């Protein structure tokens, strides 16, 4: 009923998913159970490999998100140090300090939220969410016009290529 090739492919996918090898008999049993539509077995059989360029785009988005988190956290620490220095002067300008702290606080929160959204977009790509393709392309364009140009190129190549259409349409 099943070819040797399909049994071997099933066994490879099972080993990738669960980290253990199974016998041909067990593979046949699970494959036959899939044809009867048992829901707990369906997950094992429907393992699909993410296309290479889509995976590259996802990894680039993850790198971009973590770079943003690190950079903006560094800016926050640097600004806190500046505020401590300003407050330690003899006559600090209280109104200026409050306005600056408020501005940098909003900037940090907004930037941190964008970084988290970038990471969520990468997760959405793994889960084949159609919205993640659109937001990934937007973040790819943003990366393209910043110092992260190389990441932007790979993100756009991965999400605008033919492999992406098949990944998100499935």
pLDDT of residue 42: 44
In the block, tokens 């959204």 appear at 117
C-alpha span between 41 and 35 (Å, rounded): 10
Planar angle of CA 121, 158, 136, nearest 5 degrees: 25
pLDDT of residue 92: 64
pLDDT of residue 76: 81
**Which tokens belong to 78?**
């640097």
Using an 8 Å Cβ cutoff, are 135 and 117 in contact?
A: yes
Phi-psi region of 91 (alpha: psi -120 to 50; beta: other; left: phi over 0): beta
C-alpha span between 82 and 80 (Å, rounded): 5
C-alpha span between 159 and 130 (Å, rounded): 11
Cα-based torsion angle of the residue sequence 60, 63, 69, 75 in order, rounded to the nearest 10 degrees? -100
Q: How many residues are present in the chain?
A: 170
C-alpha span between 109 and 99 (Å, rounded): 15
C-alpha span between 166 and 150 (Å, rounded): 24
Nearest Cα to Cα of residue 18 among 47, 39, 38: 47
C-alpha span between 107 and 119 (Å, rounded): 19
Give per-10-residue mean pLDDT for the chain (170 aa).
80 82 84 65 54 91 92 83 76 71 81 92 90 92 88 91 79
Using an 8 Å Cβ cutoff, are 122 and 65 in contact?
A: yes
Kindly report the number of other CB atoms within 10 A of residue 35's CB atom.
11
């Amino acid at each position: 009923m099943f070819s040797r090739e399909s049994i071997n492919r099933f066994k490879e996918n099972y080993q990738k998913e669960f980290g253990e090898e199974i016998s041909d008999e067990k593979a046949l049993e699970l494959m036959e159970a899939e044809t009867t539509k048992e829901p707990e077995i369906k997950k094992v059989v429907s393992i699909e490999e993410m296309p290479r360029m889509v995976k590259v785009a996802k990894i680039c988005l993850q790198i971009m998100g973590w770079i943003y988190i690190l950079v903006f956290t560094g800016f926050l620490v640097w600004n806190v140090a500046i505020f401590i220095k300003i407050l330690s002067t003899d006559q600090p300008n209280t109104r200026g300090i409050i306005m600056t702290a408020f501005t940098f606080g909003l900037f940090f929160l907004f930037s941190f939220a964008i970084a988290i959204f970038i990471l969520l977009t990468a997760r959405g790509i793994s889960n084949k969410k159609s919205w993640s393709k659109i937001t990934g392309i937007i973040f790819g364009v943003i990366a393209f016009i910043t110092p992260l140009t190389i990441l932007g190129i790979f993100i756009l190549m991965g999400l605008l290529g033919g492999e992406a259409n098949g990944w998100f349409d499935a």
